[in-house]
Amino acid sequence: MLVVLIVADSVRADAPNFGGGAARTDVLDRLAAEGTVFDDTYASAGWTVPSMVSIATGTYPHRVGVSRWRHPFPRHRPTLMTAFAAAGFDVQTVVHNPRFCLANTGFRGTVSDSEVPDDVEAALRAPAGTDRFVMIHHWWTHLPYVNTKLPRKEWKRACDVEIEALGHDPEDAVPRLRGDYHDALAWMDAELLGRWLDAAQSGGQDVLLAFTADHGETWGDSLPDDHAVEHMYDLHGRWLTDETTHVPLILWGQGSNGPIPAGQNVGGFARGVDLAPTLCSLAGVPWPGPIPTHDGPTLVDRGIGAEGEELELDGVSLAAAVMLGRRTPLEEALTVTSHNAIVPAKYPKSGRRMWSRFALRTDRRRYTWDGLFGLRDVGDVGPAAASGRVGRLKDRLVGVPRIWSRLADERAVALGPTTKLPRDLYPKFRSSTDDEDDGGLEEAMRMLGYSGD
């Protein structure tokens, strides 16, 4: 069996054509028609690093304590990669920043670069008779929406230009960037997805595929009325709205108990943390599997014993909902963001400071709470909130104090990061020098959160 998880950066649920969006996505539309779509899937974190952590671990990032790739990872914490490896699968991790992305987990299997299309196809071409798990993080749907690998300086320069345009001339910049964004998604669909599917099916084994995103995207339309775009995190990460957290989820192909039902839309909520247990269940792989025993300099003791004592897992398997055509058992979805998305380049060591902003999405409302900055927002969602603006209701609404108390409880158990790991623990990937830049660029990339710093 070949199990493939594709995480496309910044793709909101309403961007692909099958989700009602403007992007032409013929291949994704076919996968949706031939598979199962979750209508209400929400990222478990507001931007890439903590969201990828939540997907890989089936646990909210504030319980893991990792918000950058150079934060140590908890020893003995299982991941998708360790679960599939323990079940005898060859594990391939194909990411846009292979030097750092998920490197702190201690085990990624064979690592390659998702910005090199041939590398992605090679990972997917499993020999006949081989069980393989492939996680792909596609990067080019992220600002500046350019479908080629850019040197870091050029990438940063292009992002700066567009963020400045959004802040100073949004009437021109927003429709232009929306178009570029939809074009980047359409390009991925037309130029890559078909090739990836061909490669995945080339070995003749059953293929189980999931397509989702790490978070959504906005260009200022869902910011509070008194704010303008000033930073990358205003596009995603800082403001936990539907535009930035509602993501697509398609399941397609053949699981261990039969084909994924075709033409099916599953109601109820799904979350980033549910991907790991759901994929494992559909593939017949135990989740979380044996507690990892590997060791290394990027791992720290965080209370998990060698036999799994004190291990917390937040995600639940949605496999039964898929195979039986039922609603999921979830009535809400939590999203958390890290402090550096609110105050760029600031990574406090206290868990209560690092993880202070949470959002809870129900079928009628979105509640956003920040215990550090005193933010309490309640916004209607669905048809009653077609404008998408952040709404505010008084705290005296029935039930709202109970929500704030729940979110405060989440903050109370949040783990802060331990000491940042040195760069020399992360060897250069192949011969690339793209991540070795002058100090000014290094600082800028650190502020954005997309480098190892």
pLDDT at residue 221, as a whole number:
84
3-state class (DSSP) for residue 148: coil
pLDDT confidence of residue 396:
37
Q: Please report where in the chains the tokens 């949470």 appear, as a residue.
A: 358
Rounded Cα gap, residues 237 and 54, in angstroms: 14
Q: Cβ-count burial of 385 within 10 angstroms (0-12 exposed, 13-18 middle, 19+ buried)?
A: middle
Which position has the token pair 């032409």?
24
What's the helix, strand, coil split of the chain in %, to 5?
35, 20, 45
Return the pLDDT at 222: 82
- The amino acid sitting at 310 is E
Give the lowest-confidence range in 34-43, 101-110, 116-125, 422-431. 422-431
**CATH architecture assigned to 2-331+422-448:** 3-Layer(aba) Sandwich (3.40)
pLDDT tens digits, 79-109: 999 999 999 999 999 999 999 999 999 999 9
Q: Which residue has the tokens 């998604």?
A: 185
Yes or no: say if 18 and 37 are a contact pair by the CB < 8 Å rule: yes
Q: Please name the residue that has the structure tokens 């959160």.
A: 449
CA 11 to chain centre: 10
b vs e for 341-358, b when ≥16 Cβ sit within 10 Å of the residue's Cβ? bbebeebbeebbbbbbbb
Give the chain's mean pLDDT. 92
The pLDDT value recorded for residue 430 is: 77
Q: What pLDDT is attached to residue 152?
A: 87
pLDDT in tens, 207-228: 999 999 999 999 998 888 888 9
Query: What are the structure tokens assigned to 171, written together?
Result: 């009437």
The token pair that represents 221 in the structure block: 């339309």
Question: Would you say 93 and 109 are in contact if contact means Cβ atoms under 8 Å apart?
Answer: yes
Q: Residue 382 has what pLDDT?
A: 74
Contact 318, 26 (CB under 8 A): no
Report the pLDDT averaged over residues 350-363: 97
Q: What is the pLDDT of residues 21-70, one digit of tens each?
A: 999 999 999 999 999 999 999 999 999 999 999 999 999 999 999 999 99
Asked whether 208 and 6 are in contact (CB, 8 A), the reply is no
Other Cβ atoms closer than 10 A to 291: 18
- Rounded to 10 deg, the angle between the 152-168 and 170-187 helix axes is 140
- Checking if the pLDDT of 272 tops 90, the result is yes
Using a pLDDT cut of 70, give the percent of the chain over it: 91
Give the pLDDT of residue 431. Answer: 47
